[in-house]
Structure 1
């Protein structure tokens, strides 16, 4: 690799962690002699490196530090959100799209779960079977997310088209439980969204979607990237702040 001035060196690279592609921001310096890896409060991986270091050396070091990266991404995630550990008892409140609804437990010969009249009504076979309640609620969340996330992704893909000029339609979407990220996108054109967003206000879900769509134009968190986010969603900072303050259910991870 031929070395050029700092501004002409790569600004990002990628690393796969726990099945997810993470964009790594690279900050070069002619004066620096060692490589420093850090994770900020936005759960962004940042590498400060000497300008004479080859990109392959940085990527090798990141792979060797996989365990450290996963551990500290989790720490940052846990420090920035409230945690909720359900007891699965009658009357306990759970989130759906930013609102809380109480559980109404019933027992019978069929499994049932739905949101009816602002109440999570659940019917299980055996008294006190918490695993069954959890299974039914998780499956319900997944069904709601499959429809809603697709609708919102299609909506924002079309709405941001004049700004992002994305030619791709029906962007592939994957919904999964992620421990450290609300969303991600791959160089193959797919967007991944955290299932837990189904518990968050719609404004937070929309922010994550716009954030990931902007990454298709800028695979980093540069000034150019945040400028695109601002053009697409002027109040993104308020939405992001709300996302950080919303309770997260660890059982969905």
Structure 2
């Protein structure tokens, strides 16, 4: 990828804008697939999400079901992206990391532990060095 900007000092801003736009596209595409899979387990969601840079998280789900994802997630392989999206979608039915939550996640994505391990091995969050 080649980033061009009229002024060199704008290159970082241009790159960040492109990455954010790409994250919206990639995550929307993956969300569509994940919603189809999750619907078989009673999970219903609009598919809407927002992006926010987070130092220590790939995603979050509010008590009202608002999904937020770290734009850096698109650096990960698709199966790892799907793990994060499905992880957060499961929170729309089971909010906490309870036994019931992990049982649901295990039904939706039986090999979630392997996906999480691969994600953590391949992509590092900026705040994980702190």
> What TM-score bracket applies, with the shorter chain setting the length?
0.7 to 0.9
Question: For residues 144 and 202 of structure 1, what CA distance do their matches in structure 2 show?
Answer: 14
- State whether residues 196 and 248 of structure 1, in contact with CA within 8 Å, keep that contact through their aligned partners in structure 2: no
Are residue 140 (structure 1) and residue 18 (structure 2) matched? yes
Question: Is residue 166 of structure 1 aligned with residue 43 of structure 2?
Answer: yes
Counterpart selection for 2:4 from 112, 123, 127: 123
SS of residue in 2 equivalent to 1:217: coil
2:61 is aligned with 1:180:
no
Q: How does 1:151-162 map to 2 (within 5 A)?
A: 151-162=29-40
Larger RCO of the pair (alpha carbons < 8 Å, separation 6+)? 2
The alpha-carbon deviation at position 123 of structure 1 amounts to 2.3
User: Contact 2:51 / 2:71 at 8 angstroms: preserved in 1?
Assistant: yes
State the alpha-carbon separation in 2 of the partners of residues 167 and 124 from structure 1: 42
Largest Rg, 1 or 2:
1
Structure 2 residue aligned with 1:241: 117
Q: CA deviation at 1:245?
A: 1.5
**How big is the alpha-carbon RMSD for the aligned residues of Structure 1 and Structure 2?**
2.0
Measure, in 2, the Cα distance between the counterparts of 1:218 and 1:135: 38
Q: 1:183-222 residue pairs with structure 2 within 5 A?
A: 183-222=59-98
Gaps of 5+ in 2: none
Q: Which has more strand, going by share of residues?
A: 1
In proportion to residue count, which structure has more helix? Answer: 2
Aligned pairs for 1:21-170 within 5 A = 120-126=1-7, 129=8, 131-163=9-41, 165-168=42-45, 170=46
Q: Which runs of 5+ in 1 are unaligned?
A: 1-119
Distance (Å, rounded) in 2 between the aligned partners of 1:172 and 1:124: 31
Measured at CA, do residues 138 and 160 of structure 1 come closer, stay the same or move farther in structure 2, by a change above 3 Å? Answer: same
Distance 2:71 2:106 in 1: 25
Per-residue CA distance 1:119-145 (angstroms, 9 max, x = gap): x1122335xx3x433222211111111
| Inter-partner Cα distance in structure 1 for 2:124 and 2:47 | 27
